[in-house]
Amino acid sequence: MRSLSIVAWLVAAVPAAAQQNLPVVRSNVSTIDVRIGEASRFRWDLAPAATPGVIPAHLVNGKPHRVTVTTDVESVSFQVEEGQRYDFIVQKGDTANHLQIHGQRLVPAPGIVADRVSLAANPERVCYDERRTPYLNVDLIVRNGMETELRATELRAFVLSPGGELLERRVARDPIELLGPGRQVGAMREGLVYNPFLFTSVRPDSRIRFEMHFADAALPPVEVTVEPRSCVTRTRLVLPLAGRIAVSDGHDVLSHHRRSGYLGRWARDLGMVDNFQRFGLDLVVVDAQGQRHRGEGTRNEDWLSWGHPVRAAGAGVVAAVHNEQPDNDVIGSENLWTQRSAAENPMTSAGNYVLIDHGGGEFSLVSHLRAGSVRVKTGDRVAAGEVIAAVGNSGSSLGPHLHYELRTGWGLRGVRGLPAYFHDLTVIGTGEGGEGRPVLVNTGDVIVTR
C-alpha cells in the first residue's frame, strides 16, 4: 500500500465555492481502488485524512484513458489526458479528502519491447543444487510490451535430457506468484514468478523449458530454457556458527529470503539487479530436542543463540563493519531499530554486521550481531573459523539469530546472491557432509559442525 504524496498547494488551488462542483465519491473506508483503463489497478491509502494528494495515472504511449476511482460505496470516472490534472473529493463521514488524478506518460520497464511479451530467467546462471531433493533457485520474469495488462493462467515446466528426451513435466495453475494483483502484469511492466517446482529428474546436464500461458487465447505462450550447472563455492567455507545449528529459514520456495521485489522502480533506482539474499540463511542454536530457548523465550538471554560466537566463514579481508546498533529487546519486535532509506544506508536492515571479502567476487555477510561484540575492523585479515563477533538481535530481526549470505559485494547496487557450500559439517538425519563433500544447506536442516 502506498501513501498519497503531499502537495500543499492543492487545497489553495481549489476555492471553497469551486469545491462544491467537484466530483464526489463517498466512502466508509480509508482506501480507494484506482483503475486506469485496462493498463493497471492499484489501491491508495487515504491516511492521514484530508491530506491533499496527487495520484499519477500512467498512460500507455500517452493515450487518454478512463480512470475509475472506486470505494465501498460508489465510484467516479475521469477521462484523463497526458499533462492534465483532475480534481475530485472522497467523502468519508464529515471528512473530505481533496485529491487529484495527474495524467503521466508511462515509462516502460527496462527490457520491455513494444507489442511483445517475453519470458526471461534470473539469474542467467542457474545453480544445480546437489541435495537429495534439489531445488532450482531461479526466478522467471514476464515482460509485457502490450498496451493492456496480461493475466497468466498456467506455468508449465519440462525437464529434457541432453538429447531432447522429455524426462519430467510439471504444471502450476494456482497460485502463480506474480508480483501484482491476481495473476496480472500491467501494460509495459514486468511480473516476477518464483520457480514453484521441485524436480526429481534434474541433473547438471539437463535442460528445463518453462512455458507461461495467458487468458487471452490470441496470445501465444512464452518460454525460456535454463541449463542448471554446478556452482560450488570457490572459497572453502565453514558454517559461521559451531555446534548444533538449525536452519530456521533458508532459500527454498517458501522462504522469505526468496521473496524480493527487485523489479520495482525503487529497486531499479537503487541499482538492484537481483535478490541479494537469494541463498540467505537464518541460523539458530538448538539443543538435541530442537529447543531454541529456555522457558518462554521472552528475553534475548533466554535464547541459546544469544551471545554465541560467530566465526569467519572463510579466510579473507574485512570489507565493512557496523557495531553500534542496539539490540532489539522485545522478542517478536524490531523495537530498537529504525529503518532508514536504502539509498542512504543500503545495509540498514542488517543491524550490526561484518562483511568479509574472500576474493574472486565472493563476500560473506553475517548480520544481526550483538551490539559491541564485533572484534574486527575494516582491513583486518581473518582466517576461516576465527571468532569475529557474537550472535545478537539487531536491525531487522525478531529474535536472536544469525543471518548469513554469500554475495558479490557490499550494499545493493549490482549485488547478486551466491550459493554457499559449507565444509566440515554433517546434516542430522541424512548424513550429508559426513563423507567430506560440501553441502548447500537449506530450510529445516539441523547441522552438527565438526
- Kindly report, residue by residue over 51-78, the tens digit of the pLDDT: 557 888 888 878 888 888 889 999 888 8
Given a cut of 50, the residues of the chain with pLDDT beneath it are 1-19, 49-50, 179
User: CA 130, CA 128: separation in Å to the nearest integer?
Assistant: 6
Q: Are residues 423 and 314 in the same domain?
A: yes
C-alpha cell at 72: 465501498
Residue 111 domain flag: no
Q: Are residues 217 and 245 in the same domain?
A: no
Q: Are residues 74 and 219 in the same domain?
A: no
Q: Are residues 276 and 301 in the same domain?
A: yes
For position 343, what pLDDT does the model report? 83
The dihedral built from the CA positions of residue 275, 347, 351 and 286, taken in this order, carries a sign that is positive
C-alpha cell at 19: 469545491
What residue numbers bound the domain in which 177 lies?
117-226
Query: To which H or E segment does residue 389 belong?
Result: strand 387-390
Q: Are residues 400 and 302 in the same domain?
A: yes
* 17-45 core/surface letters (b: 16 or more CB in 10 A; e: else): eeeeeeeebebeebebebbbbebbbeebe
What's the distance, Cα to Cα, between the start and end of the chain in Å? 47
User: CA 115, CA 150: separation in Å to the nearest integer?
Assistant: 12
Boundary-marking domain end, from 180, 200, 226? 226
Q: Are residues 207 and 70 in the same domain?
A: no
* 400-413 core/surface letters (b: 16 or more CB in 10 A; e: else): bbbbbbbbebebbe
Residue 317 domain flag: yes
User: CA 441, CA 157: separation in Å to the nearest integer?
Assistant: 25
Alpha-carbon dihedral 259, 265, 268, 272, rounded to 10 degrees = -20
Boundary-marking domain end, from 58, 73, 105? 105
User: CA 227, CA 128: separation in Å to the nearest integer?
Assistant: 9
Q: How many CB atoms lie within 10 A of CB 321?
A: 21
Boundary-marking domain end, from 81, 105, 129? 105
User: CA 233, CA 235: separation in Å to the nearest integer?
Assistant: 5
How many CA atoms within 13 Å lie on the side-chain side of 213? 11
* 3-class secondary structure, 431: coil
Residue 110 domain flag: no
- Is residue 151 within 8 Å of 211, Cβ to Cβ? no
243 class by beta-carbon count within 10 Å (0-12 exposed, 13-18 middle, 19+ buried): middle
Q: Are residues 204 and 265 in the same domain?
A: no
Q: Which of 249, 281, 262, 248 is nearest to 416 (CA)?
A: 262
User: CA 54, CA 103: separation in Å to the nearest integer?
Assistant: 10
For position 15, what pLDDT does the model report? 35
Residue 112 domain flag: no
C-alpha cell at 234: 570457490
Query: To which H or E segment does residue 162 belong?
Result: none
